[in-house]
Every structure is written in C-alpha cells, then in structure tokens.
C-alpha cells in the first residue's frame, strides 16, 4: 500500500508569491518543492518535528479535517505558516536548473523556444543566487522563531536535536563553515534545545 505524500506548501502558494510562470509544469515544480522540504526543511527542524508536521498536515480519512487546524496544534500551524517563504524560495533555487536543462537519451539538453530566449548559464546562476539569498533570509527568520519558541515543540528536545543544532544557528548556504569559532566552548552552551 502506497503512502500519501504530504507536502507542507503548494504550487499555488509558490506561484502566488514568486515570479514564476503560472504554466510551470508540476513535473518540475513538485520535485523541487519535495527537495526543499525533505532536504532543506528537514535540516532545520529535524526528522521528528518534520514527521510531526506532516502527520498533523494530513487530512483524517474519515472526517477530512486536518489536525494542524485544531487549536491545540496552533504552534505547529504557526511553524508551517512561517516555513512557507523558505519552502517557496528554496524550491525556486532548484527549479531554475530543473526547467532549463533536461537529461535526454543524447545527453543534457537546454530548453529553448522560438519566442522566448533561454537565459545563459551566468544569468541562471545569478537568478539562483537571488533566490538562495531570499531562502537564506527566510531560513534565518524561521530559525530565530523556532529557537524562541522551542518549548512548544517537544520534538526539538528529543529525537535529533543535537544533529540539527548547527542548522538552528546558521542559515548560510555555502560550502564554508560560517557558524563561528570552532573548538571552543561558548558561555551558555550545552545545546540549543535543552
């Protein structure tokens, strides 16, 4: 039996808050959204909290009511709402490459059209950088809010908080460590989630 995939954002929301065309195919948009959620957001909130968010966002098969909309789940709903812009911009970072280049039997093909001119590699990477900067900003806002409200999420105190601790303190998305001094214990240390 196949399980239903739960995405915490939607193509409709992403198209409404970004400058992507309404006719971008779900074949490209949904895998990019899935990657933004399952890789990017998972790195911020961890496995346990993401699983809880997805569980609450799913509709009950009998009542068709989403548990996340219940008053007792307000912190989780707030977290999902605050994650929307991060998910949207992270989706677009991946989407730029996905819609421009396709893998075919003869190799990698670049999409072009008679009436529209495809951006060159430099323009595409500039656009990706633009969206990545927006995603990093949204990520940092989400991290700050999550740290300020961590008491509302028991999943942050258990499961894999130690594994996501660095992701709750640094929103930089480059290959270099930009999180501060290494090898030194800072005052007030001992873990973000305790």
Q: Report yes or no on 158 lying in a domain.
A: yes
Q: pLDDT tens across 106-165, in order? A: 777 766 666 566 677 788 888 888 889 999 999 989 988 988 888 899 887 755 555 565
- The H or E element containing residue 53 is helix 42-57
What is each CA distance from 83 to 3, 37, 53, 185, in whole angstroms? 23, 9, 11, 31
- In a domain, residue 174? The reply is no
Residue 3: inside a domain, yes or no?
no
pTM: 0.78
Q: Is residue 104 part of a domain?
A: yes
The answer, yes or no, to whether residue 10 has pLDDT greater than 90, is yes
5 lies in some domain:
no
Q: Per the structure, how many domains does the chain have?
A: 1
Residue 156 lies in a domain: yes
Q: Is residue 94 part of a domain?
A: yes
> What is residue 4's predicted lDDT score, i.e. its pLDDT?
77
Q: How far apart are CA 164 and CA 144, in angstroms?
A: 14
Q: Strands (DSSP E) along the chain, which ranges? A: 101-104, 107-110
Asked if residue 110 is part of any domain, the answer here is yes
* Environment class of 53 (CB within 10 Å of its CB; exposed 0-12, middle 13-18, buried 19+): buried
Give the residue numbers spanning the domain of 95: 25-167
pLDDT at 37: 96
- Could you report the per-residue pLDDT of 20-74, keeping only the tens digit for each? 888 888 888 999 999 999 999 998 898 889 999 999 998 777 767 788 999 999 9
Cα gap 44→95, rounded to integer Å: 20
């Amino acid at each position: 039996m196949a399980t239903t995939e739960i995405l915490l954002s939607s193509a409709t929301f992403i198209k409404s808050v970004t400058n992507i065309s309404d006719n971008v195919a779900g074949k490209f948009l949904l895998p990019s959204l899935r990657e933004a959620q399952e890789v990017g957001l998972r790195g911020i909130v961890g496995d346990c909290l993401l699983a809880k968010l997805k569980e609450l966002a799913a509709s009950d098969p009998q009542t068709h009511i989403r548990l996340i909309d219940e008053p007792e789940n307000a912190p989780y709903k707030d977290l999902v709402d605050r994650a929307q812009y991060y998910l949207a911009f992270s989706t677009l970072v991946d989407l730029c490459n996905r819609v421009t280049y396709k893998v075919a039997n003869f190799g990698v093909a670049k999409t072009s059209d008679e009436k529209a001119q495809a951006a060159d590699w430099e323009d595409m990477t500039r656009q990706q950088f633009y969206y990545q900067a927006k995603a990093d900003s949204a990520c940092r806002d989400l991290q700050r809010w999550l740290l300020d409200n961590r008491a509302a999420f028991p999943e942050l105190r258990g499961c894999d908080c130690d594994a996501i601790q660095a992701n709750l303190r640094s929103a930089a998305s480059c290959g270099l460590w930009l999180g501060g001094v290494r090898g030194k214990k800072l005052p007030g240390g001992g873990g973000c989630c305790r």
